[in-house]
Amino acid sequence: MAIESINPANGRLLRRFEPLTDDVVRQKIALADQAFRAYATVPLGHRALCMRKLAAILEHETEDLATTITQEMGKPLHAARLEVLKCAAACRYYAENAARILASEAIATDSNHSYVRWDPLGVILAVMPWNFPFWQVFRFLAPALMAGNVGLLKHSSNVPQCSLAIESLVRRAGFPRGTFQSLLIEANQVEAVLGDERIAAVTVTGSEAAGRAIAAQAGWLIKKSVLELGGSDPFIVMPSADLDEAVETAVRARCVNSGQSCIAAKRFIIADEIYDAFEAKFVAGMEAVRIGDPMKDSTDIGPLATKRIVQDLEAQVKAAVAAGARLLTGGEPMLGQGFYFEPTVLAGVPRSCPVYREELFGPVAMLFRVHDLNGAIQLANDTPFGLAASAWTRNPSEQQRLVTELQCGGVFLNAMVASDPRLPFGGIKLSGYGRELSAAGMREFLNAKTVVIASPVSTPEHDDRLDLLPFGNPNDSD
Residues 277-287: tens digit of each pLDDT:
999 999 999 99
Superfamily of 3-228+445-449 according to CATH: Aldehyde Dehydrogenase; Chain A, domain 1 (3.40.605.10)
Residues 418-432: tens digit of each pLDDT:
999 999 999 999 999
Q: Which of 228, 279, 358, 398 is catalytic?
A: 228
262 in catalytic set: yes
Q: Is the pLDDT of residue 335 over 90?
A: no
Q: Is the pLDDT of residue 244 over 50?
A: yes
Average pLDDT of the chain to the nearest whole number: 95
Q: Which helix (H) or strand (E) holds 450?
A: strand 446-453
Q: Which one-letter DSSP state was computed for residue 116?
A: E
233-413 to CATH, choices 3.40.309.10, 3.40.50.920, 3.30.1330.40, 3.40.50.720: 3.40.309.10
Q: Is the pLDDT of residue 469 over 60?
A: no
228 in catalytic set: yes
Which residue, among 142, 140, 260, has the nearest Cα to 207 in the 3D structure? 260
Residues 44-72: tens digit of each pLDDT:
999 999 999 999 999 999 999 999 999 99
Residues 382-430: tens digit of each pLDDT:
999 999 999 999 999 999 999 999 999 999 999 999 999 999 999 999 9
Q: Which of 50, 91, 162, 262 is catalytic?
A: 262
- Is the pTM here over 0.95, yes or no? no
Query: pLDDT value at position 111?
Result: 87
Which residue, among 130, 126, 136, has the nearest Cα to 84 in the 3D structure? 136
Q: Is the pLDDT of residue 242 over 60?
A: yes
Contact (CB, 8 A) for 225 and 196: no
Neighbour-count burial for 113-138, b at 16+ CB within 10 Å, e otherwise: ebeeebebbbbbbbbbbbbbbbbbbb
Contact (CB, 8 A) for 282 and 328: no
Query: pLDDT value at position 458?
Result: 52
pLDDT tier for residue 475 given thresholds of 50, 70 and 90: very low
Report domain extents, the chain. Answer: 3-228+445-449, 233-413
Decide: residue 324, CB within 10 A, 0-12 exposed, 13-18 middle, 19+ buried: exposed
CA–CA separation, 389 and 448 (whole Å) = 31
Helix axes 272-288, 243-255, angle to 10 degrees: 50
3-228+445-449 and 233-413 in the same fold: no
CA–CA separation, 333 and 340 (whole Å) = 6
Residues 71-129: tens digit of each pLDDT:
999 999 999 999 999 999 999 999 999 999 999 999 999 989 999 999 999 999 999 99
Beta bridge partners of 269: 236, 368
Which residue, among 331, 411, 401, has the nearest Cα to 366 in the 3D structure? 331
Query: pLDDT value at position 455?
Result: 75
Contacts of 103 by beta carbon, 8 Å cutoff, 6+ apart? none
